[in-house]
Structure 1
Amino acid sequence: MTERPTEQSGSYRGIDTWPDVQILEALVAGQERAIAAVRQATPAIAEAADRLARRLSAGGRLAYAGAGTSIRVAVQDGSELPATFGMPEAKILYLIAGGRAAMFDTLADAEDDEADGAAQADDLTAADTVIAVAASGSTPFTVAVAKRAREKGAFVIAVVNNAGSKLAAAADLEILLATGPEVIAGSTRLAAGTAQKAALNLLSTLTHIKLGAVHDGLMVNVETGNAKLRRRAAGIVAAIAGVEVARADEALDLAGGHVKPAVLMCAGAKDIAAAQRLLDAANGNLRLAIARNADT
């Protein structure tokens, strides 16, 4: 069988004898190739974001699936979505080879457990979307998740680093990150992991831009769970509404810490109920709600 590109050795013979800076330069070059691979995949990422946004808007959930480094990268992406974009925790699922313990412990054999992969996907529905991540594209657990998810009618996005993979064949849409050989052969925590992190970041960010969680580069669904985030939210309200931070802070109090209705009250909505009606009519899109508020 032909060796997968991510498992092949590159031109790094004797790297352990090189000067430190030369080693680091080789590692940095590998990271640069990773980002170049993500750039080549932007059309597929854009298509995936469009599909995901529409499915989330219709009430579906998002599930991340994988093993080892791949699922650790995926969980990092998903765990940031509630605080950054206000995505409900209940809408995010994690299908992890070996379970949550595998996030911290090396449970290497868990990635071979096809039965567990299929079982973890059993609760998925046709409304859900799965992002299945595997550098090799052949991880048995992750392939089994993808197959069962599609049997359930879910939409499956495969994020892989090798072309022609089993995971891509089991998915509805492939995001191929052709990172090639690693500086340390087979260590996909390096370039492959970087490409996965960047691609998932782009996918989830574009998805939430399309869902109205971003306005002029500002996080208008940010949660205000601590003092730092509260200050950030007040600054966002002040910047969008063109008011002093003190006024923005008052509006945030009235809006229960939610940026969008606070902006609308600063922009002239008479109370929280009026602001919420504007948002509901605009399907949560702040720009459209502001325009409608100006017309009233």
Structure 2
Amino acid sequence: MELSRLTTEQRNKRSMNLDQMSTAEMLHTINEEDKIVAFAVEKVLPKIEIAVDHIVPSLASGGRLFYVGAGTSGRLGVIDASECPPTFMTPKEMVQTVMAGGMDAFFNAAEGSEDNEKQGGLDLQAKKLIKNDVVIGITASGRTPYPIGALHYAKAIGAYTIALSCNQDSLISNVADCAIEVIVGPEVLTGSTRMKAATAHKMILNMISTTTMVKLGKVHENLMVDLHANNFKLRERAKRTVSEVTRSSYDKIENALIQTNYKVKPAIVMLEANVTLQEAEEAIVQSDGYVRKAIDYLS
């Protein structure tokens, strides 16, 4: 009865005859429901802002960000966290995911593991969680024991906690310092929260990580200046990025990138301020990683 009252478990009136629809009708129905997601996310932007404004100073001072979830929620955390090192050249420990059932559960469903509330705390304890870290518990229903247990443990040691769910007044919201409840309504396939709920949560995690990294100086204008250029495609992207900012010749750009081992940020500062690599790197440190400030610092 408790589950049946959850929005994410209710039946969607628009898809009651899903099994009798044509392929086109099913696709149209899913698409129409997916359109709801962005508007639902828009309503919780103030809460996302609060979350980001707590995460940024934590990471800036050496803290870490942990996503905690089970099943699809955990997998979304893995996807977002794993993209931070190549996109923003973050240390792999800066943004991490703790998943019910361990990382093997990313590939093989281990649904029973989500019911162990105590394990959520134990898994964070194994990560040597500290007060300066931030923990985001992800659960569409808002009642999954594993991330709830993780938030209880995080709060007990003084870490900032964020809850991400898809039901109003959810259990996990009562535990968190910041509760983000994005209400997308019943799923086309009843209870299948890998659909709209997961889409909403992926959008929010993308917002949190991207906005956080921008505020940490890892983006200049709208360009990835801290990308890890370790293959041909990314090295070419690095050249285009430096070109977009500096408008320098191809030879100068290539020479600068070779000197920096294809690190975009110091290459830009070198070319824009006409300084050596050592001077550029020092300016970047003095400017807390911001390209614009580093260039001004050398002016």
Q: Common fold, TM-score beyond 0.5?
A: yes
Alpha-carbon distance, 1:115 to partner: 2.2
Alignment match, 1:134: 139
RMSD, matched Cα = 1.1
The answer to whether structure 1 residue 283 and structure 2 residue 283 are counterparts is no
Moved over 3 A (4+): none
The answer to whether structure 1 residue 83 and structure 2 residue 106 are counterparts is no
Alignment match, 1:25: 28
Question: Is the CA contact (8 Å cut-off) linking 2:8 and 2:140 kept in structure 1?
Answer: yes
Alignment match, 1:6: 8
Alpha-carbon distance, 1:167 to partner: 0.9
What amino acid does structure 1 have at the position aligned with 2:192? S
Using the size of structure 2 for normalisation, the TM-score is 0.96
Alpha-carbon distance, 1:256 to partner: 2.1
| Corresponding residue SS for 1:90 | coil
The answer to whether structure 1 residue 246 and structure 2 residue 251 are counterparts is yes
Question: Is the CA contact (8 Å cut-off) linking 1:156 and 1:171 kept in structure 2?
Answer: yes
* Alpha-carbon distance in structure 2 between the residues aligned to 1:136 and 1:112: 13
Alpha-carbon distance, 1:214 to partner: 1.1
Question: Is the CA contact (8 Å cut-off) linking 2:8 and 2:187 kept in structure 1?
Answer: yes
Unpaired segments ≥5 residues, structure 1: none
Alpha-carbon distance, 1:184 to partner: 0.7
Picking from 223, 226, 230, the partner of 1:218 is 223
* Alpha-carbon distance in structure 2 between the residues aligned to 1:97 and 1:137: 15
Unpaired segments ≥5 residues, structure 2: none
The answer to whether structure 1 residue 272 and structure 2 residue 277 are counterparts is yes
Question: Is the CA contact (8 Å cut-off) linking 1:269 and 1:275 kept in structure 2?
Answer: no
Alpha-carbon distance, 1:93 to partner: 2.4
Question: Is the CA contact (8 Å cut-off) linking 1:135 and 1:160 kept in structure 2?
Answer: yes
| Corresponding residue SS for 1:162 | coil
Alpha-carbon distance, 1:134 to partner: 0.3
Alpha-carbon distance, 1:216 to partner: 1.3
Alignment match, 1:188: 193
> Which is further off, 233-242 or 265-274?
265-274
The answer to whether structure 1 residue 38 and structure 2 residue 37 are counterparts is no
Picking from 112, 124, 129, the partner of 2:129 is 124
Alignment of 1:23-172 (within 5 A): 23-122=26-125, 123-172=128-177
Question: Is the CA contact (8 Å cut-off) linking 2:78 and 2:96 kept in structure 1?
Answer: no
| Corresponding residue SS for 1:95 | strand
Question: Is the CA contact (8 Å cut-off) linking 2:70 and 2:139 kept in structure 1?
Answer: yes
Using the size of structure 1 for normalisation, the TM-score is 0.96
> Which is further off, 42-51 or 54-63?
42-51
Alignment match, 1:202: 207
Question: Is the CA contact (8 Å cut-off) linking 1:30 and 1:191 kept in structure 2?
Answer: yes
**Any idea what the Cα deviations from partners look like across 1:18-63, whole Å, max 9, x if unmatched?**
1211111110112111121111111111121111111100110111
Alpha-carbon distance, 1:157 to partner: 1.1
Alignment of 1:251-266 (within 5 A): 251-266=256-271
* Alpha-carbon distance in structure 1 between the residues aligned to 2:225 and 2:288: 14
| Corresponding residue SS for 2:93 | helix
* Alpha-carbon distance in structure 2 between the residues aligned to 1:180 and 1:115: 30
Question: Is the CA contact (8 Å cut-off) linking 2:273 and 2:295 kept in structure 1?
Answer: no
